[in-house]
């Protein structure tokens, strides 16, 4: 997989991989907190025969640069989405099918708010449109990150991130490369949010892939399904015996669900 870097208009150097057929529809994959573009290597291999596939590492993740002396405001979901928007402008891409895991899904919601015309479709997994974590949980997560740092978090995630040992090991390797500031500040920023107002009223085709074992996300996701279902182009698919990282745990099932959704008439009509 060829990996490149671009200094975009936000001032961040973004690591990305672009593959597939140049003039075909562009399919963008954005990873979860602590991961990077390598999370979607199997998707790039699968979809490159039909799409132009763009994988992105968010600021502070993988090989992307991090703001010097960062503050809370440097790692909001909106700032992350502005980097992605700037990369698309740099590459001359005007419309995309967006796929985001966890934090990456929040970046997708921010892009929906920034420029919904940019989105041919929006797919999320391991993401809930609304979350209100208690102050105790926020403090606990921040404390663990401060104590363990990226390498310690990598070891922790490798053991707990997935029931699949190989997936856990891959997650651990990615976590070891993330900026400690990115981990800590993003964790704080995404502990309390609500995108239901953003989603309500939009008709962009949306797919939510829900892993049956992703219990904490699903508990919050269930309370937002009524808003998501206001969209006549919304679809929910549950993958059994799968957790937070469905694309890595059951790639064939994940790719099949996503590929079928992208071929639907409602999606094609939104390009």
Three-state SS sequence of 116-152:
HHHEEEEEEECCCCEEECCHHHHHHHHHHHHHHHHHH
Look at residue 208 and give its three-state secondary structure.
strand
Cα-Cα-Cα-Cα torsion 104, 110, 114, 120, nearest 10 degrees, comes to 50
Predicted confidence at residue 140, as pLDDT, reads 66
CB of 162 closer than 8 Å to CB of 168: yes
**Within a 10 A sphere around the Cβ of 110, how many other Cβ atoms?**
22
9 vs 52: CA distance, rounded Å:
22
Q: Could you tell me where the DSSP H helices lie in 10-56?
A: 41-47
CATH number of 4-131+193-268: 3.40.50.1820
Is 12:156 a contact under the CB 8 Å cutoff? no
SS3 157: helix
Helix (H, G, I), strand (E, B) or coil at 36: coil
* Nearest C-alpha neighbor of 66 from the set 177, 156, 153: 177
- Domain residue spans of the chain: 4-131+193-268
Q: What is the pTM (predicted TM-score) of this model?
A: 0.95
Per-residue pLDDT of the chain (271 residues; tens, 9 = 90+): 999 999 999 999 999 999 999 899 999 999 999 999 999 999 999 999 999 999 999 999 999 999 999 999 999 999 999 999 999 999 999 999 999 999 999 999 999 999 999 999 999 999 999 998 756 566 666 777 777 777 777 777 878 888 899 999 999 999 999 999 999 999 999 999 999 999 998 999 999 999 999 998 999 999 999 999 999 999 999 999 999 999 999 999 999 999 999 999 889 888 7
Gap between the Cα atoms of 57 and 64, Å rounded: 6
Give the residue among 245, 102, 106, 242 at the shortest CA–CA distance from 172. Answer: 245
CA distance 188 to 141: 9
- Note whether 129 and 194 are within 8 A (CB): yes
């Amino acid at each position: 997989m060829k990996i490149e870097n671009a200094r975009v208009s936000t001032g961040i150097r973004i690591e990305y991989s672009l593959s597939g057929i140049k003039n075909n529809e562009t399919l963008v994959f954005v990873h979860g907190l602590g991961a990077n573009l390598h999370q979607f290597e199997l998707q790039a291999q699968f979809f490159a025969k039909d799409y132009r596939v763009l994988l992105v590492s968010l600021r502070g993740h993988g090989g992307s640069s991090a703001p010097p002396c960062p503050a809370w405001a440097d790692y909001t979901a909106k700032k992350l989405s502005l980097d992605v928007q700037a990369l698309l402008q740099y590459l001359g891409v005007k419309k995309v099918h967006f796929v985001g895991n966890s934090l990456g899904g929040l970046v997708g919601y921010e892009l929906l708010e920034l420029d919904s015309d940019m989105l041919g479709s929006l797919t999320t997994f391991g993401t809930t449109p609304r979350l209100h974590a208690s102050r105790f949980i926020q403090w606990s997560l921040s404390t663990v990150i401060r104590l363990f740092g990226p390498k310690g978090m990598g070891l922790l995630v490798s053991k707990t991130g997935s029931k699949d040992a190989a997936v856990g090991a891959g997650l651990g390797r990615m976590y070891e490369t993330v900026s400690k500031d990115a981990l800590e500040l993003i964790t704080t920023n995404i502990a309390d949010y609500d995108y239901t107002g953003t989603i309500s009223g939009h008709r962009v085709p949306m797919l939510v892939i829900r892993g049956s074992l992703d219990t904490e996300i699903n508990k919050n996701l269930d309370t937002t399904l009524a808003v998501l279902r206001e969209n006549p182009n919304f679809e929910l698919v549950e993958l059994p015996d799968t957790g937070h990282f469905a694309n890595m745990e059951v790639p064939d099932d994940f790719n099949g669900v996503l590929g079928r959704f992208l071929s639907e008439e409602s999606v094609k009509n939104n390009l």
